[in-house]
Amino acid sequence: MTVQTLKIGKREFMLVPRREFERMAAQARRQVEQERQDAGDVAECRRRMQEPGGTTLAELHRKLQR
């Protein structure tokens, strides 16, 4: 990948080929989608932990020791 830098005033910019930019943008979209999925999984897990009737880890450990 050939990267060029361009300085305008005190700010510095990087120029990348369109194909490379599109690849980076797609990767960023996938990462955002994965973070949303992870947040949803955490929320569902916390919601399920609040539901009554579940077996706690200590109860499960006692059952397995018998």
Per-state percent for the chain, helix, strand, coil, to nearest 5: 65, 15, 20
pLDDT tens digits along 13-29: 999 999 999 999 999 99
Residue with more model confidence, 1 or 53: 53
* Confidence label for 3 from pLDDT (cuts 50, 70 and 90): confident
Residue 1 has pLDDT above 70, yes or no: no
Global pTM?
0.57
